[in-house]
């Protein structure tokens, strides 16, 4: 059973998948930082200092100063600001992944469709082969 597990783990596609997941997690952290630390403050500046990720609608009649206060009180909230941030994260990740996959596919197509650099040796034509066979047959009949 251990040998089967070793074979499974050492197959190339399992290792590639693991590396892809690790890179994806790291990339997600970078995108969240870009959105939260760069994009959100710029949007907030244009909205008059409103923190976009903190926008919410309480699902009760009481009013709360912030999303954290409403959550601490234990009431339900419609946190549409968080949803907007998640949507922006998704769009950025999707665009970057699309560009990356497109680049990889173009590189793969170039390597697959690149003509072989070694020249193909020119072989005899069909007529030349037939003439050679005829001559060999004539020569073998004389002998």
Which 3-state string (H, E, C) describes 89-138?
HHHHHHHHHHHHHHHHHHHHHHHHHCCCCCCCCCCCCHHHHHHHHHHHHH
Domain extent for 13: 2-116
Classify residue 134: in a domain, yes or no: no
Cα dist. 10→2, 16, 22, 46 in Å? 12, 10, 17, 52
Residue 139 binned pLDDT confidence (cut-offs 50, 70, 90): confident
What per-residue confidence (pLDDT) applies to 4?
Answer: 83
Q: 48-71, pLDDT tens digit by residue?
A: 888 888 889 999 888 888 888 988
Classify residue 124: in a domain, yes or no: no
Classify residue 70: in a domain, yes or no: yes
Classify residue 47: in a domain, yes or no: yes
DSSP category for residue 37: I
Residue 109, Cα to own-chain centre: how many angstroms? Answer: 17
What per-residue confidence (pLDDT) applies to 117?
Answer: 65
What per-residue confidence (pLDDT) applies to 3?
Answer: 85
The percent of residues above 90 in pLDDT, for the chain, comes to 6
Residue 78 binned pLDDT confidence (cut-offs 50, 70, 90): very high
Domain count, the chain: 1
Residue 119 binned pLDDT confidence (cut-offs 50, 70, 90): confident
Q: Which two tokens stand for residue 17?
A: 């998948």
What per-residue confidence (pLDDT) applies to 143?
Answer: 64
CATH (domain of 34):
1.10.1200.120
Classify residue 14: in a domain, yes or no: yes
Classify residue 65: in a domain, yes or no: yes
DSSP category for residue 10: H
Classify residue 64: in a domain, yes or no: yes
Classify residue 141: in a domain, yes or no: no
């Amino acid at each position: 059973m251990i040998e089967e597990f070793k074979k499974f783990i050492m197959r190339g596609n399992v290792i590639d998948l693991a590396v892809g997941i690790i890179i994806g997690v790291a990339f997600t952290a970078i995108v969240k930082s870009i959105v939260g630390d760069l994009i959100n403050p710029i949007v907030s500046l244009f909205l008059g200092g409103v923190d976009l990720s903190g926008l919410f609608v309480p699902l009760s009649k009481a009013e709360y100063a912030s999303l954290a206060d409403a959550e601490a009180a234990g009431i339900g909230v419609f946190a549409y600001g968080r949803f907007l941030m998640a949507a922006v994260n998704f769009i950025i990740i999707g665009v970057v992944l699309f560009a990356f996959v497109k680049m990889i596919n173009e590189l793969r197509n170039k390597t697959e469709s690149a003509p072989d650099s070694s020249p193909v040796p020119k072989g005899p034509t069909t007529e030349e082969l037939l003439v050679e066979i005829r001559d060999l047959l004539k020569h073998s009949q004389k002998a």
